[in-house]
Structure 1
Amino acid sequence: MNEILDTIVIGGGQAGLASGYHLKKKGLRFLILETSDKVGGSWPHYYDSLKLFSPARFSSMPGMKFPGEANDYPKRDEVIRYLNEYRTRFQLPLRTNQRVATVEKGSEGFIIYTLAGDTFRAKTIINATGSFHNPYKPVIPGQDTFRGRLVHSSQYRNPEPFRNQRVIIVGRGNSAVQIGVELSEVSKTTLAVLQPIQFVNQKLWGQDLHFWIKLIGFDTFPFWRLGKNAPSSSAVNDPGPYKTRIAEGKPNQQPMFTSLYEDGVIWPDGTKEAVDTIIFATGYRPNLPYLQGINALDAEGRPLHRAGISNVPGLYYVGLEGQRSFASATLRGVGPDAKFIVKRLFSYLKL
């Protein structure tokens, strides 16, 4: 493309689509680049049984209500349909199979090169990608000798491949517990944890937790202003069954194993146990190597920004965890963040 657009949005998931909505409202010329062959970012790659923790009435993106019963928790496939319908309704310009390889600074903004061999030019960039494609797996002593299967939770789809296996899940967050409870129906499953799992009740006094956090303003409080002191939590949202199932030992939880051997794990007391599969539900790390060349990242590859505004003029972010509030990076939170960023991007273009 020889045309110089006002903005290139990198990422066609919820953050990219919400950004597109607000860019279109401003009348800006833009294009959304999506890595995969589908709209929806990471959602098509999540495990089959995944549900939102926020009910439908608190899960809408700007301009379009999430369909269905207001108090139901949308399933993964419902979210995928919603994102596709969102793109169609607002006629957002999006090109698939466009994984960004490199970003350079040009005389009139940025030059974006993709692995498909295409080149795009824009005055500004909104990076709206997540970190799903850079899963983190810790290095465990002895793992090179382990003859079983080591996978990340990003590779998990459903319990069937693990039927009748001995499975250990490393982690204590929402994904670890959800997958563990599901696997315990067909396998002997244990959660290996550094600290005991903590739960937060999904419903309080007859209302979903999101009703209360929205009511008191917690959902939109600007925690980014607190910097390193911003609160974080690994507590598991429990709509009802998870705490009970863990208490019943389905799955059970044990202190993290110390190492691996050929057939399995070695627990802290020195006991060896044969294991078929270990699943690391250990999160993700930043995945923005294409921004390294314009000095937009710190030494660990994390974006240098304040509330989504990069240290590099003309570069912005939407969809970062904790970017501006507790809700940032969630389906319900990307809209306000996108509106904030597009407003500042628009002002930058008018300078």
Structure 2
Amino acid sequence: MSRGRLLVVGGGQAGLAAARAGRERGWEPVVLEAGEEPVGSWPRYYDSLRLFSPRRFSGFPGFPFVGDPDDYPGRDEVARHLRGYAEWLGVEVRTGARVVDVRAEGSGFTAELTDGGAIAGDALIAASGSFANPCVPTIPGRDRYEGRVLHVAGYRSPEEFAGQRVVVVGAGNSAVQVAHELAEHARTSLAVRDRVRFAPQVVAGRDLHWWLRATRADLLPPAVLARLVTGTPVIDTGKYRRAIDEGRPDRRPMFTAFTEDGVAWPDGAWERVDAVVFATGYRPHLRYLGSLGVLDEAGTPRHDRGVSAVRPGLGFLGLEFQRSFSSNTLRGVHRDAGHVLDALSRQPRGVVVG
């Protein structure tokens, strides 16, 4: 017996995981994907992006990556994997279906689309990711700076910056990766507020993710993890640490302001800079839920491990640290999907709980 229709907003890794978990629990999933195919944001990431987890730990249940299990897949391979998984899964995926608003209808939901259409469901999973909502900090003087400012979401390759003076802001994996490749083409600095923390990619002959699984550290709740680890480490074979130590790129404390043609450093020096690339993360992209009252003032969902704390029948997937360190990754999202769909399947309908 069907539990009803499950609307899934977003057709990337989180949306496909939700569709699978929902179908396994008796729901009839319909995936609403704004793009032309169910591959999420992967084709829009920078060209050189590679996963830090090897193929053996990055595939989906029953659908492993093809190729050397100990090698690290690149951006385009991940997109192909998602494309193949969606076909293998065989759930209903509606592409070109961008959701602009979600209304509560009795105990269910109606999703309104940009083309004027609408589709009703008995439960809804918001799995639209965060790529469309990059986070850029507010820095004095930004409005008068005449150089180029972009978030890493809009960065593709280093060649267009050849011969320029570039500052990359951030201390995470993307910041270090992008600054490293830019340094081969441009005079590049990595600007950080604190310091860059490194974690070895291989420990005692085993990939870090083998150890995360063997020790079950991958499953630690975020609150526990925060007490054990400070900041987000850059996973490194040693090449990034070595390059930064050699000044390729050089590491600087975060600049204090923009000037008309550059930046002001903390020591008071001003420097002409052609471009600033912010690798400063993303925020959930959930504006279509605004009318439901399920988000806080910052637009972040009010939830308990992916289950809405406000409205029954509503869940979230793909949030950073939703339940664990790996929640918004290929290797972790299916675990979260099972938890969220189990919870929604047990809920009574039609009662607002907050």
- TM-score tier by shorter-chain length is over 0.9
Aligned partners of 1:135 and 1:284 also within 8 Å: yes
Q: Aligned partner of 1:284: which letter? A: Y
Q: Aligned partner of 1:178: which letter? A: Q
Give the C-alpha shift of residue 223 in structure 1.
Answer: 3.3
Q: For 2:27, what is the secondary structure of its paired residue?
A: coil
Range with greater deviation from structure 2 (91-100 or 125-134): 91-100
Cross-structure match for 1:222:
221
Aligned partners of 1:10 and 1:33 also within 8 Å: yes
Structure 1 position 305 matched with structure 2 position 303:
yes
Cross-structure match for 1:210:
209
Give the C-alpha shift of residue 25 in structure 1.
Answer: 2.4
Aligned partners of 1:35 and 1:99 also within 8 Å: yes
Deviations 1:273-302 (A, max 9, x none): 111101111111222112121111112111
Aligned partners of 2:167 and 2:276 also within 8 Å: yes
TM-score by length of 2: 0.94
Over 3 Å off, 4+ runs: 226-232, 348-351
Deviations 1:137-195 (A, max 9, x none): 11211111111101111000111111111100111111100000011111110011111
How many residues end up aligned between the 2 structures?
347
Give the C-alpha shift of residue 117 in structure 1.
Answer: 1.5
Give the C-alpha shift of residue 241 in structure 1.
Answer: 1.0
Cross-structure match for 2:279:
281
Deviations 1:312-345 (A, max 9, x none): 1100111111111111010000111111222222
**C-alpha separation in 2, matches of 1:327 and 1:350:** 30
Of the three residues 232, 235, 240, the one matched with 1:234 is 232
Aligned partners of 1:11 and 1:127 also within 8 Å: yes
Give the C-alpha shift of residue 205 in structure 1.
Answer: 0.5
Change over 3 Å in CA distance of 1:227–1:301 after alignment to 2: farther
Cross-structure match for 1:59:
58
**C-alpha separation in 1, matches of 2:63 and 2:35:** 24
Cross-structure match for 1:192:
191
Give unmatched runs, 5+ long, in structure 1.
none
Range with greater deviation from structure 2 (307-316 or 30-39): 30-39
Give the C-alpha shift of residue 108 in structure 1.
Answer: 4.1
Query: Matches of residues 86-105 of structure 1 in structure 2 within 5 Å?
Result: 86-105=85-104
Aligned partners of 1:223 and 1:230 also within 8 Å: no
**C-alpha separation in 2, matches of 1:208 and 1:126:** 33
Structure 1 position 266 matched with structure 2 position 264:
yes
Q: For 1:130, what is the secondary structure of its paired residue?
A: coil
Aligned partners of 1:61 and 1:334 also within 8 Å: no
Change over 3 Å in CA distance of 1:349–1:123 after alignment to 2: farther
**C-alpha separation in 2, matches of 1:131 and 1:70:** 28
Query: Matches of residues 85-234 of structure 1 in structure 2 within 5 Å?
Result: 85-223=84-222, 233-234=231-232
Q: For 2:73, what is the secondary structure of its paired residue?
A: coil
Q: Aligned partner of 1:269: which letter? A: D
Q: Aligned partner of 1:209: which letter? A: L
**C-alpha separation in 2, matches of 1:125 and 1:271:** 52
Q: Aligned partner of 2:43: which letter? A: P
**C-alpha separation in 1, matches of 2:27 and 2:346:** 12
Change over 3 Å in CA distance of 1:222–1:143 after alignment to 2: closer
Of the three residues 219, 241, 254, the one matched with 1:243 is 241
Cross-structure match for 2:72:
73
Give the C-alpha shift of residue 347 in structure 1.
Answer: 2.8
Deviations 1:183-231 (A, max 9, x none): 111111001111121111111111111111111111112336x598695
Cross-structure match for 2:49:
50
Aligned partners of 2:13 and 2:40 also within 8 Å: yes
Aligned partners of 1:256 and 1:267 also within 8 Å: yes
Q: Aligned partner of 2:343: which letter? A: R
**C-alpha separation in 2, matches of 1:231 and 1:84:** 35
Between the aligned residues of both structures, percent identity stands at: 45
Aligned partners of 1:97 and 1:116 also within 8 Å: no
TM-score by length of 1: 0.94
RMSD (Å), alpha carbons:
1.9
Q: Aligned partner of 1:55: which letter? A: P
Deviations 1:91-149 (A, max 9, x none): 12111122211111102411110112210100100111211101111121111111110
Deviations 1:230-287 (A, max 9, x none): 9563221113311111111111110111111111111111111111101111111222
Give unmatched runs, 5+ long, in structure 2.
none
**C-alpha separation in 2, matches of 1:57 and 1:228:** 27
Q: For 2:81, what is the secondary structure of its paired residue?
A: helix
